[in-house]
Structure 1
Amino acid sequence: MFILVVSCLISLLYNRTIAWWKHTLNFSIYTFMIAGASIAFKLFGGATGEFDIHNLFAYSTALAVYFTLNVLFVGIYYYLMYKGTLYDFVKNILQDTIFAYMGTLLLSIVLVLLINGSQSFGLFLFLAIGMLLSHAFRQLFRMYNAMSEKANLDQRTGLFSHSYFEEKLDEYMAHAKEKETALSLVMLDVDDFKKYNDEFGHPQGDRLLGFIGSLIKEACEPKGMFAARYGGEEFAIIMPGVASAEAKLFMDALRKKTNDTPFEGVDIFPHGCVSFSAGVIEIRQESYDKSQWIDWADRALYMAKSKGKNTVVLFGDEEHLPRSLEQDINELEQHVRIFLSKDVYTYKHTKRVFSYAVDMADILGLNEEDRRLLVLGALAHDVGKLEIPRDILNKKTRLTQEEWEIVKKHVLWGKEFMLVSEKFKDLGPLVELHHERYDGTGYPQGLKGSAIPRLARLLCVIDSFDAMTTERPYQKTKSYREAIEELRACRGSQFDPTLTDYFIGYIESKLVHLDSVRLADSEAAAGISKG
């Protein structure tokens, strides 16, 4: 305790940049740890003095108490300060430091043996060994950090590497989802870089990349943004806490600064200056597949290029979506028609789900890109069933467990089918995840709640409703009203509550319309009979 007081006073004088209350907190934590270990040592029969092998259990217990109190107090501190998950933090400490604490126990026993055997010389010897080990570990840590930094950095531009960007994007997406904060992604590409490279050679081209990298780094670092070289002359920026509109303003300012900064040989560029094109997208809370967001940011970048370069495009604007939805529908429908020869019920089911999706896109007021995803996803959602053997697909009796496992694979086969086509690969998440359940008990990933993409949650409701109301031989079919009651019973467990309510409202409006038509028909028939 005396050594603790002295060391804390030295630390307080030496590290004045650290708040005084943190020094006090640190002192308090160590006080509890030392006192707790001492009490545990005595309670379990430990005796001070020379090392005794019979006290080994008391030594181990004292260390366990010391270790437990340390993990508990530090874990609570980080939980309160950073609002992380206490369980995850404690688990990480247990994994990372348990061997260090075992080393502490062994070194403390060595210290006792040295002091009892050689007194002051033993203490000097122990301190000398400790200082040498500390210096050696410090050198190893420096070497490790230098190697890690070198692996994570692109040497040409000074920005982070592609592989490190992929790793950090996962972390940023998870953090944004947990904290429910905005997150934007930018892909940018140097305009006419190949022309510059051909004119002045690769060494000068590398200097241009380094120049642009320095401008990006200078702009991003003060704002806590993560910038990386994605490949070639393409760069990527992750913007935590930044919404799409703010991200576009930032990129336009960076683009203008790049235009206005002189660089050798820029006269050969069409704009007479260094320029880049960029695509911006805001990653939503229900984000699932990072490759999809990168692809969409790339598509916005492509649109920026097609608009004459040296511009920034925000993904999702209607004018930036030139694809013909009708052409895409016709192309996908050719694949769906194969079901006519293999399973006509799946074909009819697909067409009905498609029809529901078209109506729901209007009801929810989806933007053009989400409308396209939902409509095409509905048309393609069961395409993986083409891989299921005909005898299983058309089986009238209950499926065996083995057969059911085969049927469940249709979502993965369907996703693979989508990924083959560059045009339709963004449909992959909807095709793969339309059997996920809101409570996390679905397949194939077992995702839960908002971790499931919103459109996949909607497709699950539509698909399930039509499956319940599809007429097939030898199987009981629910009426629309019975299916609605089933949807209500499963909202919050199998289905997203909000989207389920929207869909139920839509179906009920159709039923009201059908009832009024039937009433009018019956009244007309009654009038004819009277006449």
Structure 2
Amino acid sequence: MKKIINNKQKQINDIVSVVKLSTLLLIGIILSKTFVKNNSAIWESSTFYILIILFIPLMLFVLVYLAWSFSVENKIKNKYRNIFNIIEINFFLIVFSAIIWVCGVNGSQYKILYLFIIITTTIQYGMKRGLIVSIISSLIILGMDIMVVPNAYLNDFFQDDLILVGIFILTAWPLGFYVKIEGEHIKRLEEQINIDGLTELYNHRYFCDTLIEKVKAGERNNKPVSMIFIDIDYFKQYNDTYGHQKGDYVLRKVAEIIKGNIREGDLSARYGGEEFAVILPDTNEKEALNLAEHLRERIENTYFEGEDSQPNGKITASMGVSVYPDKAKDDIELIKSADDALYRAKFINKNKVESYTSILDEIKSNIDEKDVELVTSIKTLISVINAKDKYTYGHVERVVIYSRLIAEKLQLSKRNKEILIYGAYMHDIGKINTRKEVLVKKMKLTDEEWEELKQHPANGAEIIKSVESLKEITPLIISHHERYDGKGYPNRLKGDEIPFLARILTVVDSFDAMTSNRPYNTRKSYEDGIQELERCSGTQFDPEIVKAFVEVVRNDIEVSDLNGMNRKYAN
């Protein structure tokens, strides 16, 4: 819609510019008629010099105006448009006044010229500016009448020009009113297109378009742009219990809270379903987290009908925060990072605010400076794998979240927690050497293809070993497919021969593999996945780790959230 409006405004401006240029040419004709002697093919020298003095500046202005109107970049025009508009209007008023003065003042038939600038100004800038120009034009004409015949008891010219003044004002007023009505109509249409009908917040499309503009503005001005993603907790349960009408009531009320508690200049939108988003221009991460926490508290402390049936006895919301350019390089990454932070907030306990954290940034902050470039290269390899296999990307993200949870459950040391999370992030990096047709094959793998896939732990360890600062991750990468009973690969390690952190990663990795949509495997339900872990406890998996992980899944994670995570990364 904005593009259509901009195109329409450009067309209006182009037409008005043509009218103004034509007016300047008309002035040239008037000057020629005034100074060329009747029936004379030869001009007097005085007349010639007068024409030169008048025409040269006029033609220069025509050329400059032409270049400005049709050639100059829009961003330059927008920056100086208001100043140029004032100069332009004043120029035409001065030129018209000069023409009228030269052509006989009171008796001049060219007073009607003022209508050109009155009409074009009203069309372009509305009734207010049109009326101002018409009043100024009227004062100039009446002032000329008084100056030329100052002491006349009855000034016929003044009386006649009062009628012309009325024409000026009656031209600007109705025309300006029409422009105003049309502008309001366009604004209403724009609102209908850009506003979500249920919540009266901006809709998803307008949000995305505005985010692109805000990020570009942030880049130009070297200012941060933050984003908050908001999701209502247990909304499906509330909707199923009370029906969609009550669900709509909650959505409207949450939208009112968001809209009423953000700052002037922030933009709130309904992103989709029970998800909302807020764009925060010129806002750093700390300020965004404070605002998100304020919104979370307001939602939690607001009474909603029927909220007693919710798991926590309250309607609450989880929120994710990210910021450009610190956590994202463009608008797409800003959305993704804020979305990742939101799902981590929902994944762990709900009713909380989470800021996006980049595993790569964590790794960089904990390794030697000489290895930073190598780690960046590893990220590039992971991006290539993600492009080859969509499942691997979502799988890695979920395994990292599971690893954080079980690390807390097992009370791992800070360093072991870091190693586990980094290993979870990089455990499938060896798939860079696996053919895409093998990774995405929907039929059962052949023996040869299976052997190729089984090489990825060793290939991954080979890649990582070049980074001295990450050597502690190598055992996790090479051993995450070993089995507790010694029947795994690639080295057939058994029991405690398998590094402890690798045994943890094996449980986490296998659970997500079982409960996810994969090209060559049928997805299990989450309860079936838990039962499979327990069935294979002591054979494929370390029984103590299985016990701890099952407690994490059953106590700390909602099945609905697991479904949400799977849908998110499957799309």
When the two structures are superposed, what TM-score results if normalisation uses the length of structure 2? 0.43
Larger radius of gyration between Structure 1 and Structure 2: 2
When the two structures are superposed, what TM-score results if normalisation uses the length of structure 1? 0.46
